[in-house]
Amino acid sequence: MQQYHFITLREKPEMKETAAAWFNSKWGVPKEAYIECMDSYLKRDTEYGWYLCLEGDKIVAGMGVIENDFHDRTDLTPNVCAVYTEAEHRCKGIAGRLLNMVVDDCRTKGISPLYLVTDHTGFYERYGWEFFCMVQENDEPVRMYIHR
């Protein structure tokens, strides 16, 4: 993984606009929503962070931590969100390394457990995540995972 560089947004705050646009292009959530969350993190209003994998100066993967990832169980917080790796960079351990980075960073800040909604099965378990329960997201059931 020599070609990849794993960072928090606090390490490169100048990437905020680029990162917000990148996440918006992947998930369709308004760029302004990402900017708002990223600003709170950069100003240290929250320790819920944003994590990126770069190849040179290009974002190839990323994820964030937010209060709630659009589901009905507001008691299950915080949530890892916006997990995405560009197709040509998949199956190289990038997402797993980012997930571990998020868990470790949050744990050092006293933030544990973490939750994550996904329709994937089998992937997150490899990195210590466990199926926790079903939650409702946009009136659809979705799997909720926990990392303790």
Residue 2 pLDDT: 59
Q: Which ranges in 3-131 belong to alpha helices (H)?
A: 16-27, 31-42, 94-108
The CA-atom distances, in angstroms, between 31 and each of 23, 37, 95, 126, 142 are 8, 10, 22, 31, 24
The CA-atom distances, in angstroms, between 115 and each of 11, 68, 95, 98, 112 are 24, 9, 16, 15, 9
Contacts of 30 (CB under 8 A, 6+ apart): 24
Per-residue pLDDT tens, the chain, 148 aa: give them: 459 999 999 999 999 999 999 999 999 999 999 999 999 999 999 999 999 999 999 999 999 999 999 999 999 999 999 999 999 999 999 999 999 999 999 999 999 999 999 999 999 999 999 999 999 998 999 999 999 9
What is the pTM (predicted TM-score) of this model? 0.94
Residue 45 pLDDT: 97
Question: Encoding tokens for residue 61?
Answer: 């993967």
Cβ contact 66:37 at 8 Å: yes
Domain boundaries, the chain: 4-112
Amino acid sitting at position 23: F
The CATH class for the domain spanning 4-112 reads alpha beta
Smallest CA-to-CA distance from 106 within 43, 145, 148 is with 148
CA distance 64 to 60: 14
